[in-house]
Amino acid sequence: MRRVSGTLFRYNSNPRIQTRHRMTPASLVRLLALSAIWGASFLFMRMGAPVLGPTLLIACRVASAAVFLAIVGLVLRKPLQVRRHARHYVVLGLFNGALPFLLFAFAARTLSASLLSILNATAPIWGAVIAALWTRQAVAPRVLAGLAMGVAGVAMLVGLDPGSLHPGAPLAIALTLGATFSYGVATNYAKSAQKVDPYANAHGSMWAATLLIAPALPFAPAPGTATPAIWLAVLALGIVCSGIAFLLYFRLIADLGAASALTVTFLIPVFGVLWGHLFLGEPLSWHMAAGALVVIVGTALVTGFSPAALWRRPMVWS
């Protein structure tokens, strides 16, 4: 299984069984829409976290996503099977929902949406590191080169970004990398976890994340008063960036296979930077572009992904 910014899916690992996929105009539209939506999640967190506080913001996010997915599940008649998969949902809810969402939200009080979205691209790198330690297998030179580039890209972003000099910025950067590390843990857990329908994974994990965060709410009052615009951002974060995004993602998996997940990973920073610049006035700089490019190339080396493969006819994913 693999994950990208919030969900998990199972793919065929048997090289003898291959499925052919082809990029169509409709798939391209879905791919760009999903990248834009997930890129906007950092914009909405940047807007909501300083006002509502990270805990309330993320509690609203996962709860609204869970309710939305429950409604969709009723319409589509997709069972959740809570008794059978409760422990599985809790693990996913923790490492693929509550924990990384909270860490990103805490970091969003200090870091820009642009920087958050770029650092999010390190999730596959953490997944590869954890997998290598977990399996105790030798790491290929290509992967080592990708890991080195990922570290160099992060160092470039942190070292040259004026925001990294602000009070609390080093901690916020560490929290962001902790969030992507959590995604890496979720990815490796999912590889050996019981087979569960991807929709049920998303639905069940959002309810589990809601229950995990709820006990902390009495101890995390909102530091400010939310305006209607902030509440709209919160609803968009939960319903659009989590609920609707999952539905788009599952369709992409069916259309393109596992490669679509990696493509979204690379496109999210583009939209994250764009939305931050357009709506929050975050500056565009050469070091941010250079650092993002180094991180993305490093991630591509680690995952072995080739963007050109998406356009080959026919495309074969194993």
DSSP for 9-54, written as a single string = E-----TTS-EEE---HHHHHHHHHHHHHHHHHHHHHHHHHHHH-H
Record the pTM.
Answer: 0.87
With respect to residue 3, please indicate whether it lies within any of the assigned structural domains: no
pLDDT score at 5:
44
Please check whether residue 9 lies inside any domain of the structure: no
Q: Which domain holds residue 217?
A: 18-317
For strands 8-9 and 2-3, give the pairing: antiparallel
Asked if omega into 314 is within 30° of 0 (cis), the reply is: yes
Residue 12 has a pLDDT of 40
| Dihedral of alpha carbons 290, 291, 296, 302, sign | positive
Give every CB contact of residue 207 below 8 A, 6+ residues apart in sequence.
Answer: 66, 70, 80, 89, 93
Would residue 246 be called left, alpha or beta, if left means φ above 0 and alpha means ψ between -120 and 50 degrees? alpha
Say if CB 92 and CB 205 are below 8 A apart. Answer: yes
Give domain status of residue 26, yes or no: yes
Residue at 230 is within a domain: yes
Listing DSSP states for 124-156 in one string gives HHHHHHHHHHHHTPPPPHHHHHHHHHHHHHHHH
Amino acid at residue number 232: L
115 within 8 A of 289, measured Cβ to Cβ: no
| Assigned domain for 171 exists | yes
Among 259, 253, 230, CA closest to 318: 259
Whether residue 238 is contained in a domain is answered as: yes
d(CA 181, CA 99): 10
Q: How many domains does the chain have?
A: 1
Torsions phi, psi of 264, nearest 5? -60, -40
Residue 12 lies in a domain: no
> How confident is the prediction along the chain (318 residues), in pLDDT tens digits per residue?
444 444 444 434 343 334 445 667 888 888 899 999 999 999 999 999 999 999 999 999 999 999 999 999 999 999 888 989 999 999 999 999 999 999 999 999 999 999 999 999 998 889 888 888 888 877 788 888 988 999 898 888 877 777 667 788 999 999 999 999 999 998 888 877 778 888 888 999 999 999 999 999 999 999 999 999 999 999 999 999 999 998 888 777 767 665 555 678 888 999 999 999 999 999 888 888 898 999 999 888 887 776 666 555 444 333
CB 227 within 8 A of CB 56: no
Quick one: how far is CA 272 from the chain centroid? 12
pLDDT given at position 101? 97
Does residue 259 lie in a domain region? yes
Tell me the residue length of the chain.
Answer: 318
